Amino acid sequence: MNPEVLAPLIPIAAIVAFAAVKIVGIRARSQQLTAPDVTARLESLEHGFEALQQDLIETQERLDFAERILSKAREERRIGD
């Protein structure tokens, strides 16, 4: 797939995941679910989300780098013509 199509979807997926983690946390607190299993699962989700955020940051940096390289190559071709 074209990176230009995927680029806007990455932040959207991160926002949805973030919202899901927050909703689960709110529900767990509102229902007084303090069972160790629920707490452990929520912490696991939060760690997974943090890893997803880091992956998103790295992916965005790589995409920015690739865009700069492609732009530079296009400019060099245009100058060479």
Tracing tokens 């452990």 back to the chain, one arrives at 40
CA distance 53 to 45: 12
Residues 15-60: tens digit of each pLDDT: 778 788 888 777 777 665 567 777 788 889 899 989 989 999 999 9
DSSP letters, 38-74, are HHHHHHHHHHHHHHHHHHHHHHHHHHHHHHHHHHHHH
Spell out the SS3 assignment of 4-35: HHHCCHHHHHHHHHHHHHHHHHHHHHHCCCCC
CA distance 81 to 76: 9
- What local confidence, expressed as pLDDT, does residue 20 receive? 80
Q: Is the model's pLDDT at 1 over the cut of 60? A: no
Give me the mean pLDDT over the 53-80 stretch.
Answer: 90
Query: Which amino acid does the sequence have at 42?
Result: L
